[in-house]
Amino acid sequence: MSAPADESPDDVRAVTLALRHLVKSGEEFRLARALQLHLGRNDLAALTALCEEEPLTPRDLARRMEMTSGTITPLLDRVERAGYVTRNSNPDDRRSLLIALTEAGRQAVEWVNEEFDTAINDVIATMSKSGTEELASTLEHLSVALEERIAEPAVAVPPAVDPSSGPHAV
């Protein structure tokens, strides 16, 4: 896709670099807040996934997080010991468990999200209403464009990459 006539490639590059910086800063922000809760990055990601849909079996949570059962088990041990989740019997399958957030787990995720929102709101508060509407619209368009590209195969994969041997090989 080419840039509109009034935008140079340097303008587009500045936007993509700013977006990458925003994503990186958001990840660092979440990690900093996770550490304040004595959690790791993946621990908080698991709590967030459970906040979006719970209860989940350990297998379903591992799949969502692209982890193995050998990796998810110690993660669940940690967050359960910390009081953020419970493991309960699955009434539909006695051989499996269901993982659910405790109230402390839900509050932890809400706190991180509120902290993030406050940081963003401090900047948004300095913008005009039309500026915030335009920013929201642009960010949504960018999100949709990325989502649409997820299913598309890349036009060119770097030659050193052998997709048949990676962690997600079929």
CATH number at residue 52: 1.10.10.10
Give the pLDDT confidence score for residue 7 in this predicted structure.
Answer: 64
Q: What is the DSSP letter of 116?
A: H
Whether 81 is in a domain gets the answer yes
Which DSSP string do the residues of 30-51 spell out, in sequence order? HHHHHHHTT--HHHHHHHHHHH
Indicate the pTM of the whole model. 0.76
pLDDT in tens, 113-161: 999 999 999 999 999 999 999 999 999 999 998 888 888 877 777 777 6
Cα torsion angle, 99, 105, 107, 109, sign: negative
The range of the structural domain enclosing residue 71 comes to 10-146
Q: In total, how many domains does the chain have?
A: 1
